[in-house]
Amino acid sequence: MLDIRDLTLSYGDNTVLHNVSLSLAQGEIGCVLGPSGCGKTTLLRAIAGFKKPESGCITIGEQTVCDELVNIEVAERKVGVIFQDFALFPHLSVEKNIAYGLQKINKQERKTLTDSAMALVDLQDYAHKYPHELSGGQQQRVAIARALAPKPDLLLLDEAFSSLDPELRERLSGEIRSLLKKQNITALLITHDQTEAFAMADKIAVLQDHVCHQWDTAYALYHEPATEFVAKFIGEGTFIEGTIRQENQQLIIDTHLGSFLLEPGKPLAEGIKGKLLVRPDDLRHQDESLLKAQVVGRSFRGAHIMYRLQLENSNETLLCLAPSHHDHAVGESFGIHLEIEHVICFA
């Protein structure tokens, strides 16, 4: 449905996107996640057609909208965009805002499409209200209806939830996901917020320093991060250092917390120093363990407590998510046990 291949784009001498590739099937919801300045908004603008890439190609549906030879006009790409802050026209009513993209269609059909778009987001009663008379959530729904009314092939959402408060954001992202799924709409979401990405997306691209680090499911990003950046950026975790050695044609890393067998096929070699990813849920609270660590920080999270721990004889710290009945004050020590299901190690 959406296919982006080797997209490279720059502003003058500044490369903003470098060989970015990703693809979405019909009805799939993708997400581009990354810290600010990583080029994710530029990616969206390139897909919509506001910015012409240097090289690479973009295909929407059956149509190649952009490659070395063609560059189809924005209006011809059949893309809907929901902007950050929604960009609703303050001088037009809800109904007129929604009908704005339908000007080329005859009057009757326009009315039908507008009405059905309003019905979709449940805003029929607000047809004649103006944007400033609506709440943030309602404005968001108007923006969705406006983007969906012309029945675009692809919907792009640019930080579409960032201006809403967190509670509303969570509720709305759920609602919108089910709406998109019900309508079988392909959508690509741009965000810097992982929770939002996890709540909405089937597949997530992690973008940093103009490069796409990984294009995968949320599960894979967390448990099988492709790069050190992804590992750090997605979820919580710490690295502990170790040395890699080879034994029986397999690579093993030795750390303070024990030795772990590395998965094959990684660019690692014997003798080098490695960094092992330790997720808070890899570390178990185990009183009988000989391995003791001292609590240097804690934060209560309801069912669990996140402890920041320091190992004896080392200045490395670890995160440990323990059930909240294991209540320890800062300064106390307790036994821990490391049990890593996905061994992730970077050089």
Partner 1 sequence: MQLKASAFSLYTVLAGLIIGLPIFVVLLSFYSLDTAVWTHLSETVLSGYIYNSLVLALGVGFGATLLGTGLAWCVVSYDFVGKIWLQRLILLPLAMPAYIIAYTYTGLLDFSGPVQSTLRTWFELGKQDYWFPEVRSLPGAIIMMALVLYPYVYILARTAFAEQAQKFREVSVLAGVSKFQHFLQVALPLARPAIMTGAALAMMEALADFGTVEYFGVSTFTTGIYRTWFGMGDIQAASQLSGLLCMFVFALLVLEKQSRRSAETYSSRQGTGTQALKLSIGKGTTVLFLCSLPLIFGFIVPFIQLAVWALAYTDAGSLGEYPSYALNSAMLAAIGTVVIVLLALMFSYAKRLQATKLNRSVVQFVGLGYAMPGTVIAIGVLIPLGWLDIKLNLFTKHFFDVQPGLVFSGTIVTLIFAYTIRFMSVALHNTEAGIQRIKPSMDEAAITLGDTRLQTLFKVHIPLLSASLLSACLLVFVDILKELPATLVLRPFNFNTLAVKTFELASDERLIDAALPAITIVLVGILPVLLLTRTLNQIEKKHA
What residues form DSSP beta bridges with 32? 190, 205
Closest separation between CB of residue 91 and partner 1, Å? 4
The nearest distance, CB 50 to partner 1, in angstroms, is 6
At its nearest, how many Å lie between partner 1 and the CB of residue 20? Answer: 21
Region of 57-65, 83-91, 254-262, 306-314 interacting with partner 1 (CB under 8 A): 83-91
Q: Which of 90, 265, 267, 302 binds partner 1 (CB under 8 A)?
A: 90
* Nearest approach, Cβ of residue 185 and partner 1 (Å): 16
State whether residue 234 is helix, strand or coil.
coil
Residue 100 contacts partner 1 per CB under 8 A: yes
- The window from 59-67, 97-105, 180-188, 319-327 that contacts partner 1 (CB under 8 A) reads 97-105
Q: Minimum Å distance from CB 74 to partner 1?
A: 5
**Is residue 83 a contact residue for partner 1 (CB under 8 A)?**
yes
Number of residues that bind partner 1 (CB under 8 A): 24
Note whether 156 and 82 are within 8 A (CB): yes
Per CB under 8 A, does 101 bind partner 1?
A: yes
Angle at 223 between CA 218 and CA 225, to 5 degrees: 80
Closest residue by Cα to residue 29 from 238, 284, 217, 166: 217
Distance between CA atoms of residues 94 and 124, nearest Å: 9
Beta partners for residue 66, in sequence order: 58, 71
Smallest distance, partner 1 to C-beta of residue 317, A: 38
SS3 56: strand
Rounded to whole angstroms, the Cα distance separating 56 from 67 reads 6
Which one among 1, 87, 220, 340 touches partner 1, defined by CB under 8 A? 87
What mask of x and - would describe binding to partner 1 in positions 209 to 248, judged by CB under 8 A?
Answer: ----------------------------------------
Among 2, 46, 79, 251, indicate the residue that binds partner 1 (CB under 8 A): 79
Q: Which amino acid is at 36?
A: S
Minimum CB separation from partner 1 for residue 61, in Å?
A: 16
Site residues for partner 1, 44-73, by CB under 8 A, read 48, 50
What is the radius of gyration, based on Cα positions, of the chain? 24
**Region near partner 1 per CB under 8 A, out of 21-29, 74-82, 113-121, 294-302:** 74-82
Best CA proximity match to 156, nearest among 326, 4, 332, 312? 4
Instruction: Quote helix, strand, coil % in the chain, to nearest 5.
Output: 25, 35, 35
39 binds partner 1 (CB under 8 A): no
CA dist 190 and 33 (Å) reads: 6
Cβ closest to partner 1, residue 89 vs residue 300: 89
Q: Is 30 in the site for partner 1 (CB under 8 A)?
A: no
The interface mask with partner 1, positions 118-157, x = CB under 8 A, is ------------x-x-------------x---x-------
β-bridge partners, 154 = 79, 186
Q: Is 185 an interacting residue with respect to partner 1 (CB under 8 A)?
A: no
Least distance (Å) between residue 97 CB and partner 1: 9
Decide if 298 contacts 305 (C-beta within 8 A). yes
Structure tokens at 212: 């796409």
265 sits near partner 1 (criterion: CB under 8 A): no
How many other C-beta atoms can be found within 10 angstroms of the C-beta atom of residue 177? 17
Residue with tokens 């959402």: 157
Q: Are 79 and 154 in contact (CB under 8 A)?
A: yes
What are the Cα distances from residue 126, in Å, to 109, 119, 136, 249?
Answer: 20, 11, 14, 68
- Judged by the rule CB under 8 A, the positions of this chain that interact with partner 1 are 48, 50, 74-76, 79-81, 83-85, 87, 89-91, 100-104, 130, 132, 146, 150
